[in-house]
Amino acid sequence: MRVYNFSAGPAMLPEPVLARARDELLDWGGSGMSVMEVSHRGKAFVECAAEAEATLRQLMAIPDDYRVLFLQGGAFGQFAAVPLNLAAEGDRVDFLSTGDWSAKAIREARKYVVPSVIADEKPGNYTKAPADGSFQVNPTAAYLHYTPNETIRGVEFGYVPATGDVPLVADLSSTILSRPVNVSKFGLIYAGAQKNMGQSGMCVVIVRDDLLGRARPTTPAVWNYEQMAANDSMLNTPPTFGWYLLGLVYRWVQDQGGLSAMGERNRAKADALYGFIDGSEFYSNPVQPDSRSWMNVPFLIARPELEKAFVAEASATGLTNLAGHRSVGGMRASIYNAMPIEGVQALIDFMKEFERTNG
Ligand code: PMP
């Protein structure tokens, strides 16, 4: 039986995508092989890879002067690859620190650059994004890095920071494809695949042409944007199955009506869940309303000793992975693109019933 999986990632995937992958597993496109068993240099896979990129370009309306790279090492790999590609040793890089993932990105970047945290939400326990215009971007910074959606504490920016001529770099891992985005505001976007796009271990990088060619000579070739762009992300053997799966997910998003339709659905899902939590005395969400994530909804219950029972009972009814991140506790419902509104409604119904019997 399929469950409603509220995991933050690897996360639920659309059922039609999984069914298609299953159907094609033993014989992909009449090859008599799975996609994992064909040459990545063969015509069939090269076309499959190009189609995935073309569909993503269409979905996100990616301008022609941006390259799309399909890399390995997850989003975490980019915590190192971005500074290696975009900044020289000793360069200053601006960071907005809004949660656990931006903090990890800063920690990793510190090996290669001099981080300057120009907005730090840690003192407020990461419960909001900094207000628009409340921080000063240093015009000499090599770039500004931020995390538009913090997966663990569910903090999301309601705006794209203006950085002038300083390239804006965004870790879109947990919000990519959840709604339309204006790519031209960014110098570079990266996103791990396992939330809204597919299989863990892959990372999609969307980078503006003028930022290529700045990599340090010590940059690993598989993370060198210019080299990977020149080789269509096939400098070495790419994760072929993961790339194929991305293509299926992109096509599914297209079938749903693209990012505008996705955005409307995701807003409705988030509104329903936050609306219920706010109307309840038993449940609460600590995040400032204008900074609440559409994708990751953490919540607490008035009697924390019941958390384990909540998670176990929910799981028994087919609502799985509702425990909060191990570093913060509480509960968290991740409601990415593949989570239908029916799943969110089932969660709300369960929460009502749990409150009725335990409140
Ligand atoms: N950034 C964000 C916002 C994330 O949520 C995650 C994973 N949860 C990462 C980076 C790290 O991604 P990966 O595990 O794919 O390296």
8-44 tens-digit pLDDT: 999 999 999 999 999 999 999 999 999 999 999 999 9
Instruction: Strands of the chain (E only): list them.
Output: 4-5, 66-72, 92-97, 114-120, 144-146, 149-150, 155-156, 168-171, 188-192, 202-208, 283-284, 296-301, 319-320, 331-334
Task: Report pLDDT for 67.
Answer: 98
Torsion angle of the four alpha carbons 212, 218, 223, 224, in this order, in degrees rounded to the nearest 10: 20
Q: What is the Å distance from ligand 1's center to 101 Cα? A: 7
Task: Report pLDDT for 327.
Answer: 87
Positive or negative CA dihedral for 151, 154, 284, 265? negative
pLDDT at 176 over 90: yes
The closest of 310, 290, 2 to 130, measured between CA atoms, is: 290
List CB contacts of 332: < 8 A, sequence separation 6 or more.
6, 8, 152, 154, 296, 297, 298, 299, 322, 323, 324, 325
Q: Is the distance from the beta carbon of residue 174 to the nearest atom of ligand 1 less than 6 Å? A: yes
Per-residue pLDDT band at 338 (split at 50, 70, 90): very high
Which residue ranges does the chain devote to CATH 3.90.1150.10?
A: 258-358
Task: Report pLDDT for 158.
Answer: 97
Q: What is the Å distance from ligand 1's center to 109 Cα? A: 15
Query: Which CATH number is 258-358 given?
Result: 3.90.1150.10
Average pLDDT of 179-200?
A: 98
The closest of 4, 9, 52 to 244, measured between CA atoms, is: 52
Atom of ligand 1 minimally distant from the CA of 151: 5
Closest C-alpha residue for ligand 1 atom 9: 75
Mutating to test ligand 1, I would choose from 78, 96, 97, 174 the residue with most ligand atoms within 8 A of its C-beta, which is 174
Task: Report pLDDT for 323.
Answer: 97
* Angstrom distances, CA of residue 59 to CA of 153, 173, 191: 28, 16, 15
Q: Is the distance from the beta carbon of residue 76 to the nearest atom of ligand 1 less than 6 Å? A: yes
Atom of ligand 1 minimally distant from the CA of 192: 15
Q: Where are the alpha helices (DSSP H) in 169-257?
A: 225-230, 240-255
Task: Report pLDDT for 359.
Answer: 82
Catalytic residues: 101, 171, 195
pLDDT at 193 over 90: yes
Average pLDDT of 170-189?
A: 98
- Tell me which fold the domain 16-255 belongs to: Aspartate Aminotransferase; domain 2 (3.40.640)
pLDDT in tens, 232-283: 999 999 999 999 999 999 999 999 999 999 999 999 999 999 999 999 999 9
Which residue ranges does the chain devote to CATH 3.40.640.10?
A: 16-255
pLDDT in tens, 93-110: 999 999 999 999 999 999
Task: Report pLDDT for 1.
Answer: 86
Q: Is the distance from the beta carbon of residue 99 to the nearest atom of ligand 1 less than 6 Å? A: no
SS3 label, residue 16: helix
- Please give the angle made by the CA atoms of 31, 32 and 33, to the nearest 5 degrees: 85
SS3 label, residue 94: strand
pLDDT at 195 over 90: yes
Q: Is the distance from the beta carbon of residue 147 to the nearest atom of ligand 1 less than 6 Å? A: yes
